[in-house]
Amino acid sequence: MHAHIVPPLDRTLAALSGILAKAEAHCEATGIKPEALLTFRLFPDMFPFTRQVQLTCDFAARASARLAGAEPKGFPDTETSFAELQARIAAAREYVASFPATAHDGAATREVTIKMRGQDMTMSGLDYLTLYALPQVYFHATTAYNVLRHNGVEIGKRDFMGAP
């Protein structure tokens, strides 16, 4: 299971770091204030860009921990700059990678309980990873990508996929 948990989470976080770097460079090159992108939301009822990045990190970190049978580490939501978001991504990547492969032994059948809408929901580790955690990570990473793309940052599919 480790191979199905850590590499995809790390690759997504690394790609997110890459698109943040391009967004920051875009702001510098065009004179756009970073806050314009950091606070942008695609629709009024959606989270802003900064929160999308925070949630991508949170879901990745929580998934790695829960599937290792550990209590997830919390990250305070205090970032207000590209540099602070980069630090959060780096911390999440370090945390995801901190679980040795043996920690994920038996993760497919390990029960994972999370709160959803105030209710406890229990599922197998495999279902948690494939039906909940990875879709959450990809949703928030995609939304962050879309915010930047919508605002003219020159990024493409290769950037999102973390292609070399």
CATH no. for residue 155?
1.20.120.450
Give the predicted TM-score (pTM) of the model: 0.96
Residue pair 104/2 in contact (Cβ under 8 Å)? The answer is yes
Residue 72 neighbours by CB under 8 Å, 6+ apart: 61, 62, 65, 66
**Residue-level pLDDT at 163:** 75
**Residue-level pLDDT at 147:** 98
For residue 28, give Cα distances in angstroms to 35, 42, 80, 103: 12, 22, 17, 43
**Residue-level pLDDT at 54:** 98
Residue pair 47/146 in contact (Cβ under 8 Å)? The answer is no
Q: What is the count of structural domains for the chain?
A: 1
Query: Taking the chain (164 residues) in consecutive chunks of 10 residues, what is each chunk's mean pLDDT?
Result: 96 98 98 97 97 98 97 95 98 97 96 94 97 98 98 96 82
CA-closest candidate to residue 90, choices 20, 1, 164:
20
For residue 149, give its domain range. Answer: 2-161
Please provide the distance, in angstroms rounded to a whole number, between the alpha carbons at the two ends of the chain.
Answer: 24
**Residue-level pLDDT at 69:** 96
Question: Half-sphere exposure of residue 117, counting CA atoms within 13 Å on the CB side?
Answer: 0
Dist. CA 74–CA 49, nearest whole Å:
20
